[in-house]
Each structure stands twice: as structure tokens, then as C-alpha cells.
Homo-oligomer: A and B are copies of this chain.
Amino acid sequence: MIVVMKTNARKEHVSAIIKRVESAGCKVHPIIGAERTVIDVIGDGTVIDKRQIVRMKGVEHVMPITKPYKAASREFKPQDTVIEVGGVTIGGKDLVVMAGPCSVEGRTQLIELAHACKEAGAHILRGGAYKPRTSPYSFQGLGEEGLRYLAEAREATGMPIITEVMDPGLVPLVCDYADILQVGTRNMQNYSLLNAVGRSQKPVLLKRSMIGTTKEWLMCAEYILSHGNSQVMLCERGIRANETETRNTFDISAIPVIKQLSHLPIIADPSHATGMWEYVGATAKAAVAAGADGLIIEVHQQPDRAWSDGSQSLKPERFARLVKEMRAVAQAVGRDIQTDDQSGYFNGTGLANKPFNQPLKDRPVANP
């Protein structure tokens, strides 16, 4: 922290600051210039609140120098973090694709869709069992039943699964099923939850809040990392701005910014960012061009019957085309979409050979 004194600050003002800072265990280097004194505070800047010092007499400005996050910073760990989940690599040279429905709506629906996503090129299956909904009267997710279906879909397809956890008390349960825990945008600064997923030692995908700066986001990653859980990936999913044609505003530059500030993998969510399937493709390809390490995309067999977020879901055929298009862009920037099949999916094991192509019948059309 650098404390810049006013040009008319008195010696006792400088002394008071030095005393205060030293009593907090920091070293102090006052540097006395011709016009003003500047105080260089060395040591763990987090033990002194900038906002306290600002209020002291004779102070013109206080400027934090040290970044408030440590374990999340590239200075702390120059090489990229690479996370391995069930044979899939996240954060390496090649990109990962996560796909699936917004909500898990049923066993058949999910397993059918998991196969379709896998065939289209996805590596990890997403699906919500606990859903954060703005209305208490809306469908809130199938809960543990949804988790079971996800586990079945993993067995059927070999794809690792990612799902959201909203309650610190449910982290152990969700860990029993999921390969990756997702912390949603509304919970980015839910510190109890961050501590719980940190302690779990499971890989975590941390979504940026609708309002958060990249610095605040990295501070939240730091909460998880501070528990010794180094398997954190960040997910840009759009911030809230004034535009109304899209649900949120995808901050494309956050991708190179995070790459510069941190070693953590960065995943793009073009579905929540745009909220409209028409714009998902362009935004997804842009994220690839900007350097994202992966994508998470909502896919649904019948988007206009989805229990949630239908308007932003792609049909499997369209998703399959998009994976091809993203691969071309990835290659244009010297990367690729992962293609190695380490999951044994096509080896004839699991449910992969069972027929899931029959049309969906008797599905409820709206929230139960």
C-alpha cells in the first residue's frame, strides 16, 4: 500500500500513520520528497484496511499495490492450471465442451440428450438438479432425483458431469454424484458456499456474478483456493448492462484479462450470456477466438418445451454444427477442440448401444 500525504501534511500526521501501520505488524518506509511524503507500507496489506487510512489526517490518497488475490494470480503461479476430470482435460491446449439441458427434467430426457451431446462432440454433461429460480413458485429442480439421473447419464455415456450446488449444507450430497461443482452467478459472493466447495476438494466452476469485476471474481476464487482446493475454473456468463436484446452482456475481453491476471482456466457460457439461441453461435465462436479454454452450452431436444431457459437452448443438430464451427475457429487460433476419446464411449460399453432415439412421448409440457 502506498500512502500519499498532502503537501501540507504535518510531521505528526506522518508519525500517526507510521504508528498505526506498524502496530498492525507491517513494515513502513516513509520516503520524504521535496514536495510531499509518500509512505510505502510493506507486508501483508490485507491486515490494514485502506478505508481506515484514508480517513486519517494529512492523507491525500491511498493506493493498494499488492493484488488482493494471491493464490489465484499468475504471479503466484505462472503456468496454466490444468484440471483432469474423468479423462477430460480442462485448461490445456485444446478446448473442452460442456453441454446439456438447463434443468434435468427426467431420466429418459437426460440420457437421450447426453448421448446426443456426446455424439455432437461434447466432453462433459451439464444439467441442473437444484435450480436458482427468481420465483419461489417456479420449478426448483428435481433435487437428488436429478443427481441420480445425472449419474446414470454419466454411466451411459462416460461423460463426467457438472451440476450446480446452492446450499453449503448440500455440498457433501452433491459431491457424492457430481464430478464438477458449479457455483452459480447469484452465489459468486456467497462466502459460506465458497468455503464449503473449497473444503470439498472437488473441481469447481465459479461463475462470475452479473455485477462482479474480474478482481472481485478472482477474490472469490481465492476463497476456494485458500482451502487448498486448486481445481478452480472460472466461467464468464455475461454481466448485466443496459442492452435488452440479449439477456446479459458477454464480456469478451474478460477472457484475455483473466488469462493475463490468473492461471485458472476460463470457460465461456454463451447461453446465459445471450439468452437467445440465435446469438449463441456467434458468441461461442467469439469466445473461442478470444482464447477461452472451454464452453458450457445449453442443449435441449425440444427447447420450446424446456422447463427452464428454453429460449437459449440449442437443438442437438444445431449444437453439433456449432461444435464443428468452433473447431474451425479454434484451429485458426492455433488450438483445437479435444477429440481424443478417453472415455471408452464408443467402445460398446455402457448404455451407448442402447436405443435412445425413440421420440419423446408423454412428456409434461410445462413446470409440474
Contacts and interface: CB of A to CB of B under 8 A. Distances in A.
A186 interface: yes
Contacts of A360: none
Interface stretch (A54-62, A143-151, A338-346, A351-359): A54-62
A308 B49 contact: yes
A9 to B, nearest CB: 13
Contact of A40 (B33, B65, B213): B33
A105 interface: no
Interface stretch (A78-86, A106-114, A155-163, A214-222): A214-222
A166 interface: yes
Contacts of A61: 2, 63, 65
A256 B282 CA distance: 7
A135 B216 CA distance: 9
Tell me how many chains of this kind the complex includes: 4
Interface in A58-114: 60-61, 63, 65, 68-69
Contact of A367 (B47, B186, B210, B333): B47
Contacts of A251: 241, 243, 249-250
Interface residues of A, number: 118
Contacts of A365: 20, 23-24
A278 interface: yes
A328 interface: yes
Contacts of A23: 365-366
B52 A311 contact: yes
A85 to B, nearest CB: 24
Interface of A: 2, 4, 20, 23-25, 29-36, 38, 40, 42, 44, 46-49, 51-52, 54-56, 60-61, 63, 65, 68-69, 132-138, 166-170, 186-187, 189-193, 209-216, 219, 222-223, 226, 239-246, 249-257, 260-261, 273-275, 277-279, 281-283, 285-291, 303-312, 325, 328-329, 331-333, 365-367
28 contacts: A2-B38, A20-B365, A23-B365, A30-B33, A31-B32, A31-B38, A36-B40, A49-B366, A52-B310, A55-B303, A68-B134, A68-B135, A132-B189, A135-B219, A136-B222, A166-B192, A167-B168, A186-B191, A187-B190, A190-B190, A214-B243, A246-B253, A249-B249, A253-B274, A255-B282, A282-B289, A286-B289, A328-B332
